[in-house]
Amino acid sequence: MTGQMTLLLVLDLVGTFAFALNGALTAVRAADLDIVGVVALAMTTALGGGIVRDIILDDLPPATFSDWRYLLVAAAGGLLAFTVARHQERLRTPVTVLDAAGLSLFAVTGASKALEFGLGPVQAVILGALTGVGGGTLRDVLIRQVPTVLTSELYAIPALLAAAVTVLATATGVYGLPAAVSAAALCFGIRLLGVRFGLNAPGPRTEPPRRTESGD
């Protein structure tokens, strides 16, 4: 295994663990789920982004299914979070921080793997962001929330930035652990600043939108 591949694997597993914790805590906070539901939502959140990435890249079966370490880390994160979930009133901050960590790491690994598989730079940036937001979007759809990527303060933008830094670092030959961690830290910082200060990308200049039940 090359150094690049090892780096990808390690960052991927850390992101998987962060998203598994996040998914499980979200399941406890937002819905009345038993242990199976909690672990299922943890694994969906943790593995969803990478599965989408690997389908798009035609790297099938996805790493999740050909490498048992992903499954183990995702299940362990879900079970761990389930056991500590009784301290429910304090879950809001860890849920947000863990989601930002998974988002950041997967944006980097998604972009990096896309380049390895021959995608162009723009496509790699978009697939990186998609990898970052994929698991959380599946999580939100399953528990019937409008996905964070559509509504929340600076969520897709930091993921796109981290992926862009990864692509730039690879193009200039300086990609490695320091560059990958810097790219992830940039995304992580912007995301948490956005949450902390309620920053939003600009909205359309309209009257307050109505929520409608039917599309036409």
- Name the token pair of 17: 């663990």
Shortest Cβ distance from residue 177 to a copy of itself (Å)? 27
Of 52, 47, 40, 61, residue with least CA distance to 19: 47
Q: Is 195 in the site for a copy of itself (CB under 8 A)?
A: yes
Looking at 68, 90, 172, 173, which residue binds a copy of itself (CB under 8 A)? Answer: 68
Of 66 and 176, the one with the shorter C-beta distance to a copy of itself is: 66
Residue 62, classified by CB atoms within 10 Å of its CB into exposed (0-12), middle (13-18) or buried (19+), is middle
Listed ranges 2-10, 155-163, 165-173, 174-182: which one lies at the site for a copy of itself (CB under 8 A): 155-163
Of 135, 191, 159, residue with least CA distance to 18: 135
What is the footprint of a copy of itself within residues 129-148 (CB under 8 A)? 136-137, 140-148
Of 24 and 169, the one with the shorter C-beta distance to a copy of itself is: 24
Q: Is 108 in the site for a copy of itself (CB under 8 A)?
A: no
Q: Is 55 in the site for a copy of itself (CB under 8 A)?
A: yes
Q: Is 36 in the site for a copy of itself (CB under 8 A)?
A: yes
Shortest Cβ distance from residue 116 to a copy of itself (Å)? 13
- Name the token pair of 29: 């906070």
- Name the token pair of 94: 């860890």
